[in-house]
Chains A and B, each alone.
Chain A
Amino acid sequence: MRLNEGAIGRQESVSAISLALFVSAVFTLDSHFAYSGGNSSYIWLPLSVAAAFGIFLVTAIAMERSGCPDIFAFMRYVYGEIAGTVIIFLLAAVLIYAAYLPLEVFVNAVHNFIFVEAQFARVALWLIPAVALQAFLGLECVGRTAKCFAYMLGVLLIVSFIVPARGFEPFRLYPAAGDGLGQAVKKGGLSIARVLPAFIAPLGMTGGMQGIKNVKKYGLISACIAVFLCAITQLVLALSYTYRELGELFLPLYRINMIMLGEGYFFRLDKISLFLWLIGAVVGTGFYAYGASLFFCRAGRVRDIRPAALSLTGTVFFFILLANSATHAVMDAIGDILVNWGTLIAALPLLAAALISAIKKAKEKRNETA
């Protein structure tokens, strides 16, 4: 078996999961969907991360109780051989889509903000080798790379909060709860689909992350970090722009420095921040790409992850090109389905599996006592 799982520790695991969570939560957020009716994203986005963590925790506890070492064994235990394999393939597809989303956003950003004259495919082509190499080299590489860049991105985030601080205005928080509690709950619920893949992937990486108990621990730490960072990032955005302005902005966390700094020496450094965030997105995507390859290999009982890693990264590249070609309707349709039903598609198999395993376990106990 050459699944390149290796062994990584707490810091590497937490860095990889938190980075993937943050990138998926903050950068893939559709501004129109999130802010157009009033901005309460600083409440519902962290809550959606917390809810995704809840689903992860329920699944992880069910896995632990059933004695399954990873999600692959767990799915097969709960749903049987064939249905379990199908669901693992479905989760692999979810991870591929999770890899596609941030990459597509950043390819668009680089194309629209920096290389306007360049062909879209050429911009995308730069990112693919970096993602493919991570998925190819395996979990150790993904985790360690994430840790190496996590500190740099942390400093960048703090700078992004400090620089526009003089322009913060509390009145921009109006209306206080956005466009109502119902809308906030709905948006939060739909956003779970965006962040849940970052919790699904570690359930398959229990070997590399040294057991389900440790994965649970890493998930909790990552969720805490992501909840805090998402809340503070969205609050900073809310204090910097009104919800009407935010609704029109693409990649507001990058634009925040550009707009708020005005003329000055640091004004020119905003583009560098885009490329630093791009590095974060590439590393986060590498985590998803490796996760998707691992799920694919374990579902198909493939013994070498490397061909799968290359081909699935190629698939992500194909999706990016498709989404920005004349036939983008296909990707739009998939996107619409996932925005509306993504949470159900990703969460239902996990929650149902947890429930079924609990019933199965209870039945087994009853049989034993009988």
Chain B
Amino acid sequence: MSFIKRILKALSFEEKNAEFELLERETGEPGYMGGWKECTPEEREKPHDIPRSLKKCNERLRREYRIDINPDIVVREFLLGGSIPALAVFVTGMAGSSMINDFILRDGMKKGCMERATPPLAEYAVKNVFTMAEAEISCDWDKLKIAVSEGRTAVLIDGEACCILMDTRGFEHRSVNTPQNEKTIKGPQEGFTESIRTNITLVRRLIKTDDLVCELRQSGGGNNLKIAIIYREASANQTLVNEVKRRLAKIDTRSVISAGVLEQLTEEHTFSPFPQLLNTERPDRVAAYIMQGHVAVLIEGSPFANVMPVTMHTLMASPEDSYMREPQGTVIRAVRYTGALISVLLPAYFLALALHHQGLLSVEVLATLVSSRKMVFAPLGSEMIFLLVVFQLIREAGLRVPGSIGQAIGIIGGLILGQAAVAANLASSVVLIIVALSGLGNFCIPDYSAQIAVSYFRIGLVIAAWLGGFLGIACSIVILMCWLCSLKSYGVPFLAPFSPKVYSKYPMIRRGPVSAHSRASDFTNTREDTRV
């Protein structure tokens, strides 16, 4: 026994995890603010009330915010009306200092402004002293801390078991700009920013109805980011709204940083290559879906919105479709679907023909293929997979580097590397063309996540075709279709409105006249849709 223990010791199995120790402080509580889920039960059960004594509040704030090592947290003591001790708490950089100076400190320190005040003083101060548009009174300590972290300013008054929270947010953020990944020619040129307030405004500007609801709540992650659930109350299916809320409420993780993380935490099939909600940076697109009865979720710090539920046809639609004339929209969609089919099937089809079913090829095609592969040493299957991987490499490299260099990488990768590979007999020109065509087809898919999913299927089908020819392709297609048929997004089958058939055929290949879009999709089962 001792021998085993010695081995375990030698292999450092008994040593404590260094990372864990780093998180521990002397008192045992976690070394970061706001992570209440990680702290001890005693810490969790601490009273959430605000102490009446300003001294105690000051001490608690300094302790909990670690002001000794956190110089950007400001606890400013002042005399309200020149006589009542008060505190203003804010985060430098998050809160606008001019607003605090002009409308909180200057107004609050005016002598005699609290002369006629009667308890509760906080209420009097809100009504008579501070000239702020957004001000509320809260008695919850946690709410105070969250508000301060958001850039608001909290004012605590001696003898009051509550605080005044005023909106002084004045942090820097990117201004509204053209969407980077969903560009349109005819559509609006505005995209979401990292500021949730700006994003909500962008949506509200497009939906000016009284039934538009924008519920703000904490994300559930340890970093306490704010999320907004946007829907039309008179139209959205209440079950869908409740399901979205339920899934958001279930989130219990260390951090939720962006819409992509939120997507993974709320979707049903985590391991599905296909996304189950739409990730878009266009307010017009979000507004259109909200009008159709969908629900959108925005998160602070992310220029993307999650729209749910979605179907495969939603992922294949581009915002541009609606802004073009009907025939143009329909033809573009048909081209897009053809591109997607080519992207998935062409490499596998070619490989199956060339390796297993040469009888289906004409003599001319066979001769071309053989002559192009004369000096290529790798087997056809591995050559195809090699080129597909190279294509993914070029694409990934082009995406990750800055704009002009990215374009250069695309050109170098596509032309020079391709030519060089053929010249060096690493690949044949026919296979290169097939891979390039399938790559081109892949770019026809508007949704980035769907593009990636399709590239997985393409490689899967290539392997199946390599091993089993058309038999492998047929079986893989059935498996793929089975998967797609069983996939659901917030209870809506992924292949709707084709299977199950529902009224709204228009998000499919045929775009349909704009007048036909007046009715909400059947699969969202909206409240206003009473027609059969």
- Where the two chains meet, the residues of A that have a C-beta atom closer than 8 Å to any C-beta of B are 8-9, 11-12, 110, 114-115, 123, 126-127, 129-130, 133-134, 137-138, 140-141, 143-145, 147-149, 265, 268-269, 271-272, 275-276, 278-279, 282-283, 286
A130 touches B499 (CB 8 A): no
Q: How far is the CA of A110 from the CA of B472 in the complex (A)?
A: 12
Q: How far is the CA of A143 from the CA of B485 in the complex (A)?
A: 9
B112 CB to closest chain A CB, in angstroms? 72
B481 touches A148 (CB 8 A): yes
Say whether chain A's binding surface is mostly helix, strand, loop, or mixed: helix
Known interface pairs A145-B482, A268-B362. Does A127 touch B475 (Cβ–Cβ under 8 Å)? yes
**Residues from chain B with Cβ under 8 Å of A134 in the complex:** 478, 482
Q: How far is the CA of A191 from the CA of B485 in the complex (A)?
A: 33
Q: How far is the CA of A278 from the CA of B469 in the complex (A)?
A: 13
Q: How far is the CA of A133 from the CA of B477 in the complex (A)?
A: 12
B360 touches A144 (CB 8 A): no
B474 touches A275 (CB 8 A): yes
Among candidates A149, A269, A282, residue contacting B475 with C-beta atoms closer than 8 Å: A282
A271 touches B481 (CB 8 A): no
B361 within 8 A of A: yes
Among candidates A148, A149, A275, residue contacting B471 with C-beta atoms closer than 8 Å: A275
B390 CB to closest chain A CB, in angstroms? 29
Looking at chain B, what size class is its interface with the partner chain?
20 to 34
B478 touches A9 (CB 8 A): no
Q: How far is the CA of A268 from the CA of B477 in the complex (A)?
A: 21
**Residues from chain B with Cβ under 8 Å of A9 in the complex:** 500-501
B485 touches A144 (CB 8 A): yes
Q: How far is the CA of A292 from the CA of B474 in the complex (A)?
A: 24
A8 touches B470 (CB 8 A): no
**Residues from chain A with Cβ under 8 Å of B361 in the complex:** 268
Query: With A130-B478, A137-B482, A275-B474 given, can you name 19 additional A-B contacts, CB distance below 8 Å?
Result: A114-B356, A114-B469, A114-B470, A126-B472, A126-B475, A127-B475, A130-B475, A133-B478, A141-B485, A145-B481, A148-B499, A149-B481, A271-B359, A275-B470, A278-B474, A279-B477, A282-B474, A282-B475, A282-B478
Known interface pairs A140-B486, A148-B495. Does A271 touch B360 (Cβ–Cβ under 8 Å)? yes
A157 CB to closest chain B CB, in angstroms? 17
B357 touches A114 (CB 8 A): yes
- Contacting A at CB under 8 A, from B347-385, are 356-357, 359-362
Interface centre among B357, B481, B493 (most CB of A within 10 A): B481
B357 touches A271 (CB 8 A): yes
> In the complex, which residue of chain A has the Cβ closest to the Cβ of B493?
A144
Q: How would residues 490 to 532 of chain B score, 1 for a CB under 8 Å from any chain A CB and 0 otherwise?
A: 0001010011110000000000000000000000000000000
Say whether chain B's binding surface is mostly helix, strand, loop, or mixed: helix
**Residues from chain B with Cβ under 8 Å of A271 in the complex:** 357, 359-360, 470
B188 within 8 A of A: no
B479 within 8 A of A: yes
> In the complex, which residue of chain B has the Cβ closest to the Cβ of A283?
B478
A115 touches B362 (CB 8 A): no
B468 within 8 A of A: yes
A316 CB to closest chain B CB, in angstroms? 15
**Residues from chain B with Cβ under 8 Å of A126 in the complex:** 468, 471-472, 475
Q: How far is the CA of A127 from the CA of B472 in the complex (A)?
A: 9
B471 touches A114 (CB 8 A): yes
Q: How far is the CA of A268 from the CA of B361 in the complex (A)?
A: 7
B500 touches A133 (CB 8 A): no
Q: How far is the CA of A147 from the CA of B482 in the complex (A)?
A: 11
> In the complex, which residue of chain B has the Cβ closest to the Cβ of A110?
B471
**Residues from chain B with Cβ under 8 Å of A272 in the complex:** 360, 470
**Residues from chain A with Cβ under 8 Å of B481 in the complex:** 145, 148-149
**Residues from chain B with Cβ under 8 Å of A283 in the complex:** 478
A162 CB to closest chain B CB, in angstroms? 20
Q: How far is the CA of A133 from the CA of B479 in the complex (A)?
A: 7
**Residues from chain A with Cβ under 8 Å of B479 in the complex:** 129-130, 133
Among candidates B473, B477, B499, residue contacting A11 with C-beta atoms closer than 8 Å: B499
B498 CB to closest chain A CB, in angstroms? 8
Known interface pairs A130-B479, A275-B474. Does A268 touch B360 (Cβ–Cβ under 8 Å)? yes
**Residues from chain A with Cβ under 8 Å of B359 in the complex:** 268, 271
Q: How far is the CA of A145 from the CA of B486 in the complex (A)?
A: 9
**Residues from chain B with Cβ under 8 Å of A144 in the complex:** 485-486, 493, 495, 499-500
**Residues from chain A with Cβ under 8 Å of B470 in the complex:** 114, 271-272, 275
A12 touches B500 (CB 8 A): yes
28 contacts between A and B (CB under 8 A): A11-B499, A11-B501, A110-B471, A114-B356, A114-B469, A115-B356, A123-B471, A129-B475, A129-B479, A130-B478, A133-B478, A133-B482, A133-B483, A134-B482, A140-B485, A144-B499, A145-B481, A147-B498, A148-B485, A148-B498, A148-B499, A268-B361, A269-B360, A271-B360, A271-B470, A275-B473, A276-B474, A282-B475
Among candidates A145, A265, A268, residue contacting B485 with C-beta atoms closer than 8 Å: A145
Q: How far is the CA of A8 from the CA of B362 in the complex (A)?
A: 44
A279 touches B493 (CB 8 A): no
**Residues from chain A with Cβ under 8 Å of B357 in the complex:** 114, 271
Q: How far is the CA of A114 from the CA of B486 in the complex (A)?
A: 32
Known interface pairs A110-B471, A278-B471. Does A141 touch B499 (Cβ–Cβ under 8 Å)? no
**Residues from chain B with Cβ under 8 Å of A133 in the complex:** 478-479, 482-483
> In the complex, which residue of chain B has the Cβ closest to the Cβ of A148?
B481
Q: Which 8 pairs, one residue from A and one from B, show the smallest C-beta to C-beta distance?
A: A144-B485, A130-B478, A141-B486, A144-B499, A268-B360, A137-B486, A275-B470, A275-B474
> In the complex, which residue of chain B has the Cβ closest to the Cβ of A282?
B478
B510 CB to closest chain A CB, in angstroms? 15
A106 CB to closest chain B CB, in angstroms? 10
> In the complex, which residue of chain A has the Cβ closest to the Cβ of B473?
A275
**Residues from chain A with Cβ under 8 Å of B360 in the complex:** 268-269, 271-272
**Residues from chain B with Cβ under 8 Å of A149 in the complex:** 481
> In the complex, which residue of chain A has the Cβ closest to the Cβ of B360?
A268
**Residues from chain A with Cβ under 8 Å of B500 in the complex:** 8-9, 11-12, 144
> In the complex, which residue of chain A has the Cβ closest to the Cβ of B494?
A144
Q: How far is the CA of A341 from the CA of B309 in the complex (A)?
A: 51
Among candidates A12, A110, A269, residue contacting B499 with C-beta atoms closer than 8 Å: A12
Q: How far is the CA of A276 from the CA of B483 in the complex (A)?
A: 19
> In the complex, which residue of chain A has the Cβ closest to the Cβ of B357?
A271
> In the complex, which residue of chain A has the Cβ closest to the Cβ of B349?
A272
**Residues from chain B with Cβ under 8 Å of A127 in the complex:** 475
Known interface pairs A147-B499, A268-B362, A271-B359. Does A138 touch B471 (Cβ–Cβ under 8 Å)? no
B496 CB to closest chain A CB, in angstroms? 10
Q: How far is the CA of A8 from the CA of B501 in the complex (A)?
A: 10
B353 CB to closest chain A CB, in angstroms? 10
**Residues from chain A with Cβ under 8 Å of B486 in the complex:** 137-138, 140-141, 144
Q: How far is the CA of A263 from the CA of B123 in the complex (A)?
A: 94
Q: How would residues 448 to 492 of chain B score, 1 for a CB under 8 Å from any chain A CB and 0 otherwise?
A: 000000000000000000001111111101110111011000000
Q: How far is the CA of A93 from the CA of B63 in the complex (A)?
A: 73
B450 CB to closest chain A CB, in angstroms? 18
A168 CB to closest chain B CB, in angstroms? 26
**Residues from chain B with Cβ under 8 Å of A143 in the complex:** 499
Q: How would residues 181 to 198 of chain B score, 1 for a CB under 8 Å from any chain A CB and 0 otherwise?
A: 000000000000000000
Among candidates B468, B474, B485, residue contacting A279 with C-beta atoms closer than 8 Å: B474
> In the complex, which residue of chain A has the Cβ closest to the Cβ of B474?
A275
**Residues from chain A with Cβ under 8 Å of B498 in the complex:** 147-148
**Residues from chain B with Cβ under 8 Å of A130 in the complex:** 475, 478-479, 482
A243 CB to closest chain B CB, in angstroms? 30
**Residues from chain A with Cβ under 8 Å of B483 in the complex:** 133
